[in-house]
Structure 1
Amino acid sequence: MPDVDGERAWLLTVDGAPQSYVDLDDPHHLEFEYVRRLAHVLDGAAEPGLPLDLLHLGGGALTLPRYAAATRAGSRQTVVEFDAGLVELVAEHLPLPAGSGVTVHTADARAWLETAPAASADVIVADVFGGSRVPAQLTSVEYARQAARVLRPGGLYAANLADGAPFGFLRAQLATFGAVFAELALVAEPSVLRGRRFGNAVLLASDAELPVAALSRRCAADAFPARVEYGAPLARFMRGAAPVPDAEAAPSPAPPEGAFSVG
């Protein structure tokens, strides 16, 4: 069950695992490493301060929408969150500031995406977990095609994923999105990429050149530095992996016990 703990800074946990961290007084404060990496992606998606149309699949405590509202005033943000209890809890305890430009819908992410208008989003951020696993319906070529349909030309897809060596899920996701998008990149801590531990990785996809140089600088300067893989090294990483159709889609692997727990 969702739970929150704090006064002005809140840690949201689901079944004992950290789900979101929100500082109501400072939307720029991003506690979790993978959220900072997604924020780096948003920072480089357009000129600083330029408003964007953002679609968030998965909402949590709305940490990233709050950040985008603070850094890109005037942005129109749609959040799709399946957990109605979570939506109610966040609305009660962690209300959005007036004029945030964020609209939250309780709905299934895949179903929402399939009915969303074509070319309506500059960026899609997917951070959807059923418990601790990415649902199978958000891992297929058909899903990737829907994301491409909803993005504008030059738009950017960014997904928070989780895997560990030998990276069967992550490699398949790269192959799946590579079958739809011309450009791919992967952002993760070196220890995760080397297979030393299970962890988060951010997959990026676009039909336009990705801002990998600027993103690499931001990620390298983080308190917990991450590496941006693209081009030939990424092609070697995903070599032999095949795109996954709906009929063969499976959720991301269950993390080892304690991998994402707190306390």
Structure 2
Amino acid sequence: MSRRDRARPAPFEQLGPLDTPIPISTGTARLSVENDGSVLVEINGVPSSHLHPDPQHLVFEYMRWMLLVIDRHLEARPEPSPGAERSASAPQIAHLGGGGCSLPRAIAARHPRSRQIVVEIDELLAQQVRTWFDLPRSPQLRLRIDDALGALASWREDRFDVLVRDVFAGSTTPVELTGREAAGHAARVLRSDGIYLANCAAPPGSGLMADEVATLSSVFAHVGVIAEPAHLTGKRRGNCVLIASQHALPEGVDRALRSDAVSVRLAQPSQVEALARAGRILGQGAGTSP
């Protein structure tokens, strides 16, 4: 056996049945194994997660972009003072939406001191992905069975360094998570320099990206957009990452994005401002201006 073979991450050994519907609380899941040993998880026929044997290898592009921002943000955190409790100095990260927990799994491998909580509404799915993908246990990675907005509203102020929104019902984000109420809760639960990352899948011509940028800009002092050029102009559907913070956004993000396999950029401030002007501030639950 070569050194390269010995270093290759082991494939998943406790997967459920493959290429067949698996009952979960919200419908069915389906697992498909690729040639490289990675596993595609579909929820009710829609691709939800893609997990590689190497936890830090993220197949979905938008998750790579999120991890890049999180890396830059956590690298900029001040070192804990001597004698500080380990739990108090550990980065606190929350995820709205779990699926197969691809991103939390990658963060746990990259930042083992971090403490993460993942909110997933599907109890059966959450139970099974822990086994299928050998996820880290609490306190490194906790799974909370709950509605995303309910969990967000229940958290205390100044709790998290990073908040990630990656919630979908089918192929769309529930409207109650795109409105100003949810943005306000996100700002409330983040620490003063915390960052909010949202996966936005905007159909062409919908104006959804502009609406979300306008909504976040009404709550946060700094908003950024990571997207491919065709997505940024609304010519093609795709996943973009919205970044919001009361503090200046992490440095070096655009430079780091240039090494990604996809031609993706951090939008210029003038582009973000143009989107905010073109968009509507979304109200609670109805996708309309308040």
TM-score of the two chains, using structure 1 as the length reference: 0.88
The amino acid across from 2:51 in the alignment is: V
Counterpart mapping for 1:73-152 below 5 A: 73-97=112-136, 101-152=140-191
The counterpart of 1:239, out of the listed 277, 280, 284, is 277
SS in 2 for 1:176: helix
Higher mean C-alpha displacement, 92-101 vs 219-228: 92-101
Q: For residues 249 and 171 of structure 1, what CA distance do their matches in structure 2 show?
A: 12
The amino acid across from 2:150 in the alignment is: A
Matched, 1:225 2:257: no
| RMSD of aligned residue pairs (Cα, Å) | 2.0
Q: 1:242 to 1:88 in 2, by over 3 A?
A: same
Matched, 1:3 2:30: yes
Q: For residues 137 and 128 of structure 2, what CA distance do their matches in structure 1 show?
A: 18
Matched, 1:43 2:74: no
Cα deviation, 1:195-238, whole Å, max 9, x if unaligned, reads 33111111110000002x51111212100121111422211133
Higher mean C-alpha displacement, 174-183 vs 239-248: 239-248
Alignment gaps of 5+ in structure 2:
1-27, 80-89
The amino acid across from 1:54 in the alignment is: I
Matched, 1:30 2:58: yes
Contact (CA 8 Å) 2:231, 2:238: kept in 1 or not? yes
Higher mean C-alpha displacement, 230-239 vs 77-86: 230-239
Higher mean C-alpha displacement, 90-99 vs 154-163: 90-99
Q: For residues 87 and 106 of structure 1, what CA distance do their matches in structure 2 show?
A: 8
Q: For residues 176 and 138 of structure 2, what CA distance do their matches in structure 1 show?
A: 33
Larger radius of gyration: 2
Q: For residues 138 and 182 of structure 2, what CA distance do their matches in structure 1 show?
A: 32
Identity of aligned residues (%): 36
The amino acid across from 1:216 in the alignment is: D
Pick 1 or 2: higher relative contact order, CA cutoff 8 A, min separation 6. 1
The aligned counterpart of 2:10 is none
Higher mean C-alpha displacement, 229-238 vs 102-111: 229-238
Contact (CA 8 Å) 1:48, 1:72: kept in 2 or not? no
Counterpart mapping for 1:9-20 below 5 A: 9-20=38-49
Q: For residues 203 and 39 of structure 2, what CA distance do their matches in structure 1 show?
A: 29
The amino acid across from 1:18 in the alignment is: P
SS in 2 for 1:238: helix
Give how far 1:157 is off.
0.2
Give how far 1:48 is off.
7.3
The amino acid across from 1:148 in the alignment is: A
Q: 1:11 to 1:75 in 2, by over 3 A?
A: same
The amino acid across from 2:171 in the alignment is: S
Contact (CA 8 Å) 2:119, 2:147: kept in 1 or not? yes
Q: For residues 238 and 133 of structure 1, what CA distance do their matches in structure 2 show?
A: 21
Q: 1:110 to 1:194 in 2, by over 3 A?
A: same
TM-score of the two chains, using structure 2 as the length reference: 0.80
The amino acid across from 1:237 in the alignment is: L
Q: For residues 156 and 208 of structure 2, what CA distance do their matches in structure 1 show?
A: 29
Q: For residues 136 and 117 of structure 2, what CA distance do their matches in structure 1 show?
A: 15
The aligned counterpart of 1:189 is 228
Give how far 1:247 is off.
5.4
The aligned counterpart of 1:257 is none
Q: For residues 11 and 48 of structure 1, what CA distance do their matches in structure 2 show?
A: 33
